[in-house]
A and B are shown apart, each in its own frame.
Chain A
């Protein structure tokens, strides 16, 4: 029996996929994006959050069976309301074996994998085979920039994207718009070109930067150090995607 670390479970996650869904936030992420708005999801270790409303520990260990039965308590409700479970994080692929086992125990529920795509081919395929819909993040087209802002190369990500498009599983590309970093015309054009002809792609969602991104760091005992100007107006260039024949929307 596998166990895993979860830092939050949120019901009625209206922006995390179709229908009425519950999102499971897996703790631990291979990336460390400079703009990460879930800093408590980065480390796999449980950590103390000290906020104005008191103290709590983020990160709880569940066995796969335990988590699945908790989610199954609402299976009928989620199914009859066109929803299901979204696995997000952190990074669900970081605990791929655990998540895979949870999904196997789920009671016929629609599964959405919300991922940065950074994982071994084996882990990626493991969860891809068990998911009905994928939210696949693409942040930076340029490898160097990717390494600088997220701490990792993007070749694994691009490889997995290729596997995804060959799998037949529908997916949505999600691009976080960070002022002056990911929202440049050059980067957006690069992403558009990369995904333009991929089979299975439903649409591209642009996620505007949220200035509340840094608000959790202090509570998690971490430091928020953006090397970009948070106040700079976003370049929301949807045309680049439209010209590439892509459906694009602001999420």
Chain B
């Protein structure tokens, strides 16, 4: 990092740009009401007024500009109108469309004026269709608003004598980008406006694919050197961290500003290029939590690339997260994705696989609580004298009920229009249809949470009650009833001696596969949803590993008490794919072997194997190479997704006791990284206690 970058990073961290923030959000309710605007028009007006309200701020030393000064996103309906509009319907999370991915290549290759022309052509063709006209005029209004904002920035830059910035903004985002710097500037502004309009978890897609042609031609023409390009890229990454405190999420840091690297081209050949490597290098150099990086790999991926990625893991930011093309693509195709589209997948805010510009999918709609399905079956089954197979059938029925409940609830989903976001989706302007009306892929994604604990509970019951007869059903039921109070020897037996997921023990792993197979069958049997998509089952847990154990306001899933794997009430469940908390495993390879037994052709929604490696593993280049080999083993075994983190337990404990000393400590939480000291205590504790592969 050169002086300029160090300064930019320091200014960003100190939050100097935040002093430019306006005190109050704008109010556009009166004009929406007096003009009687339609919903799409209101959303367009919101984008326009937000752009108009922006104060131009160009920091000293900046080359890539735009700093958000507008604080919040105001409502476009009065509370009363809003409740009428949404009566009988449900909203996903906060309401606005989130967690999809634009095709930013559309912006860079056509420019906003190119997109505007498409909208005008379609409007002329669909003049009779009021819906289409409403949408297209809304989209055009937002394009004009962004162009207006760019013009104001250009003028200000000119006044400040920054001619380079001025001339770039006179060209982009209106025109197609001509070079790497223009492409970065165009993307920065247009992506930030998506956030400004209230949409969130706005991903950056296959950054190394759509940006590479610009960088390559600049390098070939001698317009840029590698260090120049790295400097621009670093500055772009710094800008992405500026406004993230304004972005909504469950915990601070959960903002879904991700990008995806590597993978394959439409023809299946490797898509890795010099920009792939540059992003990994620059991100490791900057040590900032945005953008969060996903790397698509396969069993054939070059070990040198994995070494570079492991250097980034060493920084302890909790990324890159790996997805295995060998498994992901063959999982998407049987779920209705065209092969070329499947090859173009990116990872959403956390883990789910989505297609840029072609998906209006709701991929994290809720979870099936495996612990609840299993616990109910065990309690009812043992009380009723069932055989073990009947307990399994009962579990499968419970899973089915939960899947159908979720999918039925989804039929009441209401997606607000997003005319501006639609500009960057394939077919919206071309057909005069807002993205909320659906894109090429409109599937529903749900996850199965707490899988390791649930499988361990089944395995323990099978082992001790049905196979060994070393435990009587009544004894276990009574102990569960009283949360193992005064039953410590039994609890220890269940917790310590039972078969456990993560140890490559078929007795437990078979239960894990059974749970996910039942989950997949229920999703397949449900068939088409109300949005004409299928139901995709996944392996993530998000915050549910805590919520399902402790309860949470508004959560529809039941809270589960003590469980047959020897877990007492209130203890968190396994997060994503990980051994149950507290389970001693031989190490990461057995754990990978355990999770490789899931049939990922059916379980295609994503959700990572989550592993922490002690930071001592990253001591020298030779061991970092071994970490790279571990990642390759993950791919070779046919696992789907991997979240690898480097951390030090003592550091975490110290950070909990002395947060003031560890303000920059970043940890991976579930699908995202955040500052450790900004997490609620229960999340801190979980990270400290969750299985750590200590290496001496």
Bound-state CA distance A10–B696 (Å) is 10
Bound-state CA distance A13–B593 (Å) is 17
Q: Are B629 and A11 in contact (CB under 8 A)?
A: no
Q: Using A73-B593, A77-B633 as known contacts, say yes or no to A11 and B588 having CB atoms under 8 A apart.
A: yes
Residue of B492, B588, B627, B633 most packed against chain A (CB within 10 A): B633
Q: Are A14 and B504 in contact (CB under 8 A)?
A: no
Contact residues of B between 563 and 593, Cβ < 8 Å to A: 582, 584, 586-590, 593
Per-residue CB contact flags for chain B residues 619-641 toward chain A (1 = under 8 Å, else 0) read 10001001101101100110000
Interface flag for A228 (CB, 8 Å): no
Q: Are A20 and B593 in contact (CB under 8 A)?
A: no
Q: Are B584 and A11 in contact (CB under 8 A)?
A: no
Q: Are B496 and A77 in contact (CB under 8 A)?
A: no
Q: Are B588 and A12 in contact (CB under 8 A)?
A: yes
Interface flag for B159 (CB, 8 Å): no
Q: What's the minimum C-beta distance from B101 to chain A, rounded to whole angstroms?
A: 34
User: A22: which B residues are within 8 A, CB to CB?
Assistant: 586-587, 589
Interface flag for B695 (CB, 8 Å): yes
Q: Using A20-B629, A81-B629 as known contacts, say yes or no to A10 and B586 having CB atoms under 8 A apart.
A: yes
Q: Using A14-B626, A14-B695, A15-B695 as known contacts, say yes or no to A9 and B496 having CB atoms under 8 A apart.
A: no
Q: What's the minimum C-beta distance from B106 to chain A, rounded to whole angstroms?
A: 42
User: B633: which A residues are within 8 A, CB to CB?
Assistant: 20, 77, 81
Q: Are A15 and B623 in contact (CB under 8 A)?
A: yes
User: B210: which A residues are within 8 A, CB to CB?
Assistant: none
Find the B residue at minimum CB distance from A78. Answer: B589
Q: Are A53 and B582 in contact (CB under 8 A)?
A: yes
Partner of B504, one of A12, A53, A55, A73: A73
User: B492: which A residues are within 8 A, CB to CB?
Assistant: 55
Interface flag for A19 (CB, 8 Å): yes
Interface flag for A232 (CB, 8 Å): no
Find the A residue at minimum CB distance from B587. Answer: A11
Bound-state CA distance A14–B619 (Å) is 10
Find the B residue at minimum CB distance from A11. Answer: B587
Per-residue CB contact flags for chain B residues 500-518 toward chain A (1 = under 8 Å, else 0) read 0000100000000000000
Q: Using A20-B633, A73-B504, A77-B633 as known contacts, say yes or no to A11 and B589 having CB atoms under 8 A apart.
A: yes
Q: What's the minimum C-beta distance from A106 to chain B, rounded to whole angstroms?
A: 16
Find the B residue at minimum CB distance from A77. Answer: B633
Bound-state CA distance A80–B303 (Å) is 13
Partner of B629, one of A19, A54, A74: A19
Find the A residue at minimum CB distance from B622. Answer: A14
Q: What's the minimum C-beta distance from B648 to chain A, rounded to whole angstroms?
A: 12
Find the A residue at minimum CB distance from B495. Answer: A54
Find the A residue at minimum CB distance from B589. Answer: A11
Find the A residue at minimum CB distance from B694. Answer: A10
User: B623: which A residues are within 8 A, CB to CB?
Assistant: 14-15
Interface flag for B107 (CB, 8 Å): no
Q: Are A10 and B630 in contact (CB under 8 A)?
A: no
Interface flag for B212 (CB, 8 Å): no
Q: What's the minimum C-beta distance from B651 to chain A, rounded to whole angstroms?
A: 14
Interface flag for B77 (CB, 8 Å): no
Q: Are B630 and A12 in contact (CB under 8 A)?
A: yes
Find the A residue at minimum CB distance from B613. Answer: A12
Category for how many chain B residues contact A: 20 to 34
Residue of A13, A14, A73, A77 most packed against chain B (CB within 10 A): A14
User: B589: which A residues are within 8 A, CB to CB?
Assistant: 11-12, 20, 22, 74, 77
Bound-state CA distance A13–B694 (Å) is 9
Interface flag for B617 (CB, 8 Å): yes
User: A20: which B residues are within 8 A, CB to CB?
Assistant: 589, 626, 629-630, 633
Bound-state CA distance A19–B627 (Å) is 10
Per-residue CB contact flags for chain A residues 1-38 toward chain B (1 = under 8 Å, else 0) read 00000000111111100011010000000000000010
User: A81: which B residues are within 8 A, CB to CB?
Assistant: 626, 629, 632-633
Bound-state CA distance A80–B635 (Å) is 13
Interface flag for B388 (CB, 8 Å): no
Contact residues of A between 64 and 107, Cβ < 8 Å to B: 73-74, 77, 80-82
User: B464: which A residues are within 8 A, CB to CB?
Assistant: none
Q: Are B582 and A12 in contact (CB under 8 A)?
A: no
User: B626: which A residues are within 8 A, CB to CB?
Assistant: 12, 14, 19-20, 81
Interface flag for B683 (CB, 8 Å): no
Bound-state CA distance A13–B627 (Å) is 11
Q: What's the minimum C-beta distance from A249 to chain B, rounded to whole angstroms?
A: 10
Residue of A12, A53, A73 most packed against chain B (CB within 10 A): A12
User: B526: which A residues are within 8 A, CB to CB?
Assistant: none
Q: What's the minimum C-beta distance from A75 to chain B, rounded to whole angstroms?
A: 11
Bound-state CA distance A195–B636 (Å) is 42
Q: Are A10 and B695 in contact (CB under 8 A)?
A: yes
Bound-state CA distance A37–B630 (Å) is 27
Q: Are B696 and A11 in contact (CB under 8 A)?
A: no
16 chain-A/chain-B pairs, Cβ below 8 angstroms = A9-B586, A10-B587, A11-B586, A11-B587, A12-B587, A12-B630, A14-B626, A14-B695, A20-B629, A20-B630, A20-B633, A22-B589, A55-B492, A73-B593, A80-B636, A81-B626
List the 10 closest pairs (A to B, CB-CB), nearest first. Answer: A11-B587, A14-B623, A11-B589, A81-B629, A14-B626, A12-B587, A9-B586, A12-B588, A11-B586, A20-B629
Binding site for A on B (CB under 8 A): 492, 496, 504, 582, 584, 586-590, 593, 617, 619, 623, 626-627, 629-630, 632-633, 636-637, 689, 693, 695-696
Binding site for B on A (CB under 8 A): 9-15, 19-20, 22, 37, 53-56, 73-74, 77, 80-82
Question: Contacts A20-B626, A22-B587, A54-B582 given; 18 further ones with Cβ under 8 A?
Answer: A9-B586, A10-B586, A11-B586, A11-B588, A11-B589, A12-B588, A12-B630, A13-B695, A14-B617, A19-B626, A22-B586, A22-B589, A37-B696, A55-B492, A56-B496, A74-B589, A74-B590, A77-B636
